[in-house]
Copies of this chain bind each other. A is one copy, B any other.
Amino acid sequence: MKQTEKDYNNLHLQSRKAQILTSISHLLEWDQETHMPKEGGEIRGEQLQAIAGLIHKERTGKNFANALSKLIDISSGDLVSKDLTDPQKAALKLWRRDYVKDTALPDEFVEEFALLCSQSQLVWRKAKQDNDFKSFAPFLKKVIDMNKRKADFLGYENHPYDALIDLYEPEMTTERLNVLFTGLKAPISDLVKKISNVEQVDDSFLFGQFDHSQQVSFGKLLLDGMGYTPTKGRLDFSTHPFSSSLHPNDNRITTRIHPSSLMSNILAVLHEGGHALYEMGLLEQHYGSPLGQSISLGVHESQSRWWETRIGLHKSFWRHYYPILQSHFKGQFSAISLDQFYRGINKVKPSLIRIEADEVTYPLHVILRFEIEKALIGEELDVKDLPEAWNAGMQSLIGVKPTNDSEGCMQDIHWSMGAFGYFPTYALGNIYAAHIFSAFEKDFPEWEKRVSAGDLHFIRTWLNQSIHQYGRQYTSYELLEKISGKPVSADAYIAYVNKKYADIYGI
């Protein structure tokens, strides 16, 4: 074996150690939300903290740094040897990138920030309950200040917000988001207004009494259809559905069964299943290296939204699954035609709450948060003026206005947790999914026919080959351009919703 190869394997081995610990941390979190006894929370906090400390040590320790510097100059980023494959070169740059970021924050800062966020979360929870923004405001102010300090530690070229976005969506910038979101805002907002002016579709049949075990078994049937491998995962229940990956061979998801709301479980299963398929599609031999990791939260979200909206809200999907659904809930849908069902599940209704938003209004919720975050971090908006800015934004973008801050600017947990720069990835998911889908449609012009016949596996295979197998070898921008031959833009997304909803609403 050549020296470079030996060095590379050794680096991979070192890096794998942190990944193993991270996977343990994921199990602790998964258990916390699914099976942990009520009183187990305090010790769980200590367990998570202990593991987080060990992961940090492993990722920033001498062993790792030594192994890394044998192959790449940490300060300049120059490769030491040229005797490497392209994927290996990409991996080394990412290993270095992660190392630089991991070591950029002083330990005391990390601890102080963690403490502030845990306090501020508690305050937020109570403030939201009491509709009392004033009590939350000073904590939010501190969280923003620390995020600005964090950006300074991490470094940035143009906008401090760049440094924060980059943690969730590598290589994404405020400027790029400006371009993407500005292109999106007017057309989507217009579409929403048009829809608001025409007669609403009826979706009342989606609300009623739906048998628990039939809901569960239908959810499992969908997972099976998607190609979610049951021996490499499991389905549990939690208050908020989520997916958790320990390894390509252990990817667990949860759903939530609402007795009175049919689509809650169905969309959760498709969404989380989409996340899980991404992780299942990463190559085992790269586990613990950047080549065995997902690219970004935005690309991850593109996979979940792909299955939830592009497939799960498409008519061809229900051509196959609607009769099965009907037989699961005997009699309940006998008077509802496929077309009625399809229109019902695609109802667009401007609302106040992001997590309940439909496919069309959803990105607008995110754009509002992006604009506010950018302004807060860029010191163009003061915390005390946040509620007003929020309400004005909701009115102008979505056409509705909160009557209080609990359903307004305090609705989401993210800011109280210290997470600034995270929200944009939710909208990126939709934009990326649409961009990727246009390439998929070129490869499979007859895809609707196959899906109508119940075949979904070819979609999974295509996503595996086009995206999953590469790990982080490409950035999201590079990969999406590689797949489609076109630079990323919101065009495909805009065209998609315009066409689909013009059809549904006859506009």
A residues lining the B interface (CB < 8 Å): 17, 20-21, 23-24, 27-28, 31, 35-40, 42-44, 46-47, 50-51, 54, 229-234, 236, 246-247, 249-252, 287
10 A-B residue pairings within 8 Å (CB atoms): A17-B50, A20-B43, A20-B46, A27-B27, A39-B249, A39-B250, A43-B247, A43-B250, A44-B250, A47-B246
| Other A-B pairs, 11, CB within 8 Å; known A20-B50, A39-B232 | A24-B24, A27-B47, A35-B236, A38-B231, A39-B229, A39-B231, A40-B247, A40-B250, A43-B287, A44-B250, A47-B246
A14 CB to nearest B CB, Å:
13
How many identical subunits does the complex contain?
Answer: 2
Complex contacts, A47 vs chain B, CB 8 Å: 20, 23-24, 27, 246
Choose one: B20, B38, B40, B246; the contact of A40 (CB below 8 Å): B246
Complex contacts, A232 vs chain B, CB 8 Å: 37-40
The answer to whether B249 touches A43 (Cβ under 8 A) is yes
- Please report the C-alpha to C-alpha distance between residue A43 and residue B248 in the assembled complex, in whole angstroms: 10
A43 and B31 in contact (CB under 8 A), knowing A37-B252, A232-B37? Answer: no
A42 and B234 in contact (CB under 8 A), knowing A28-B24, A54-B54? Answer: no
- Please report the C-alpha to C-alpha distance between residue A143 and residue B122 in the assembled complex, in whole angstroms: 54
- Please report the C-alpha to C-alpha distance between residue A240 and residue B231 in the assembled complex, in whole angstroms: 21
A275 CB to nearest B CB, Å:
16
Q: Which residue of B lies closest to A54 (CB)?
A: B54
The answer to whether A249 touches B40 (Cβ under 8 A) is yes
Choose one: B24, B234, B251; the contact of A35 (CB below 8 Å): B234
Choose one: B40, B46, B51, B230; the contact of A37 (CB below 8 Å): B230
A42 CB to nearest B CB, Å:
7
Q: Which residue of B lies closest to A40 (CB)?
A: B250
